[in-house]
Structure 1
């Protein structure tokens, strides 16, 4: 704190300079920000003479900027299209292209392969060629490949279009995640990423519902026309979005262009990314088998409402979890996510009533929904700004991989264990992920911090 002439105190922190006008006795201190960065222009500080003008002033950097809102909106629309199409592609392949059930499943799932390929390449490309250019390129490619559905008249062509559409989705979604991760102030990173991740949760709830409703009343061609209009809205929003590009030296640019494993995968986040793989593998049991399991139990209504309850619980908990992440640290948030996911999956394994399945949906939402966004926040926290793109893509590659291979691995246990046994297995596996998190991330972080603290003391 800097002492100024009587009646005025100048206060400076890392980003703000305030002149505080005060009067003796009880009253209010009127703080006027004269820094150039946007913040609250006039702030009132209640104080008393006994405090002798000793107080703590905390000014939150802005989170809800125009760029943050537009990027979150673009991400929401990108995911809406993905979830709309993923629930109707299989039935469209069966009804229009005479595909078998397994062929239709491949038509739906091959999209993930394109997404994985795109994420691996886009992570470093987004920093080499620019974040906004990659966002434009990803959305344009997403637009072109969405239009290609109009020409699909055979199963091989459907496979090709789905793969290419997955590439467009992967590039665009990686770009939006990288942009927003760099845009959020460090002090509000957990909170910001959790709010941003709500766009995915809402899309996961609205997209499938919208897709199934439209399929009942409109042709596949009309649905694709709607999707094209949504992608055009994404493109329009991207053009007016302000994106802060990172400035990198030519030497650093040359390093990024070098082909090596670290060019595509960020070693610093592999620990939390591996944990994410196993958590996603456990959660894939819900995406892949819940509908069939609910049918076996004659709980189809509860099975339909499961994801609505899931989305509601995620929507409520994510803002709270984000604030706790920033205030209490990642461990305070992460360990309960493993416990909640385990409880939800174990409850599914013994479900016989509708209310039990819906309660399981709440716990699964609290578990997986909270883990996904806060795992991303950890990844951003671990790397320099120039590596955010690679770090985010590494994390989502492992999540997508877990969701992709999970059904094949867990499906092998259907015969000996049944669906109830599978949910018991993944419930125990989710709890075990807490130990994996400690071993691959928390323990190493604590060791590194102890070493750094020891080095400071010696200095």
Structure 2
């Protein structure tokens, strides 16, 4: 009997942690799409200040992940998870009391920090639940909570602001935060046993205490992918206005979410059964094609095709690179590997708009997307040198299984 048939993936704990992750990310995306407008209307903030009010959440998450990675196993996953979810709820409630821009920035940073700890801890927990021989498939299913939140969160934000005041946004976030705690109460958070030697090795303040070196190869790749993808998130709307394709651009993320939902379970299974290279190389090519289609868009179908290609490219890379990073790391450092991966992703997403903002005035939006396409395509070489050439052949992989 195939070993894949012996290992159960859809356990109660796997489902509940995935649902909790969805509620946490739903809150994140709901606020990311509305806080800029809220800051401008409520506090007469400048564009720069409003942008900071939105992005300081990511900064808080990044700082928290850098600090907390080594402590996930030392403090304990359960304590960290429930503590961060409670802080996440408290932060949601505190938006009602933030009557000055300075207070709003403080709340946003605290909310981001809680998000960083909660998302890292949940990802670490779920990686321990997934059978190792189904890690690619399981990670792909778990990661679907993010694109679902990406699709629903902005829609809810636009709908609520069109029919009610901003307080309803904070009410919705509070409700989602409560639901995340309630759902999590019914899940068992797995504990990874560590020896005294392993525990002692995680004490102190060395670089290896905050980063898992075996996760760095895939983290470096997702850092570059995050920069390229941030060009889509941050600039697709003004680009669409410039080329008169706003209606088509509005369908980009819908197509992205649909293709992601359809493809991730398949790509995860292929990763488990056929190896890493057969998934990663095509994904890099598809992401490149998506960016090329964006750069050449002069009709709506270009935008639609780009959404599909980016989902099959970047969407696949996001989940599969995480599975590879975790698979290559020691079991007692899964938390640190997960944290390292998310730090790289956040850093790329945070730095990307700044770097790309320099390219746009020089090359225009079309030139910027073509530049990103070239960078992603050249990343094939990066992947080859940091991981691709070291992986087992399909035959060796199958025999080992």
Q: Shorter-chain TM-score: which interval?
A: over 0.9
Equivalent pair of 1:139/1:235 in contact (CA under 8 Å) = yes
Q: 2:53 aligns with which of 107, 111, 115?
A: 107
Shift of 1:253: 2.1
| Residues 1:431 and 2:377 are matched in the alignment | yes
Select the residue among 169, 186, 198 that pairs with 1:240.
186
Q: Is the 8 A contact 2:284 2:380 kept in 1?
A: yes
Asked if 1:207 corresponds to 2:148, the answer is no
Measure how far apart 1:57 and its partner are.
Answer: 5.6
* Equivalent in 346, 349, 353 of residue 299 of structure 2: 353
Alignment match, 2:350: 404
Cα distance, 1:326 vs structure 2: 0.6
Do the aligned partners of residues 276 and 57 (structure 1) sit closer, same or farther apart at CA in structure 2, a change above 3 Å counting?
closer
In structure 2, the residue matched to 1:376 is 322
Shift of 1:255: 2.3
Instruction: Give the CA deviation at 1:146.
Output: 1.3
What TM-score, normalized to structure 2?
0.96
Counterpart among 177, 182, 186 of residue 231 in structure 1: 177
- SS of the counterpart of 1:257? coil
Contact 1:135 1:238 in 2 (8 A): no
Aligned partners of 1:402, 1:62: CA distance in 2, in Å?
34
Cα gap change, 1:57 to 1:427, in 2 (>3 Å): closer
Question: 2:276, 2:391 within 8 Å by CA — same for their partners in 1?
Answer: no
- List per-residue Cα deviations over 1:88-117 (Å, max 9, x = no partner): 000000001100111101110111110001
Partner of 1:174: 120
2:266 is matched with 320
> Higher strand fraction: Structure 1 or Structure 2?
1
1:267 offset after TM fit, Å?
A: 0.7
Partner secondary structure for residue 373 of structure 1:
helix
Query: Could you tell me how far apart the structure 1 residues matched to 2:214 and 2:236 are?
Result: 35
The equivalent residue for 1:65 is: 11
Q: What TM-score results when the alignment is normalised by the length of structure 1?
A: 0.84
SS at match of 2:251: helix
- Unmatched 5+ stretches in structure 2: 397-401
Pairing partner for 1:337 from 269, 280, 283:
283
Report deviation, 1:122.
2.2
Any unmatched runs of 5+ in structure 1? Answer: 1-55, 451-459
1:406-457 deviation digits (Å, cap 9, x = unpaired): 111111111220000000000111111111101112224469xx9xxxxxxx
Q: How does 1:27-176 map to 2 (within 5 A)?
A: 56=1, 58=3, 59-176=5-122
Compute the displacement of 1:127 (Å).
Answer: 0.8
Q: How many Å apart are 1:296 and its aligned residue?
A: 0.6
> For each residue in 1:107-162, what CA deviation from the matched residue of structure 2 results, as whole angstroms up to 9, or x when unmatched?
10111110001111222221111111111011011111111111111111111111
Task: Determine if the alignment matches structure 1 residue 293 to structure 2 residue 234.
Answer: no
Matched with 1:454 is none
Q: Which structure has the greater CA radius of gyration? A: 1
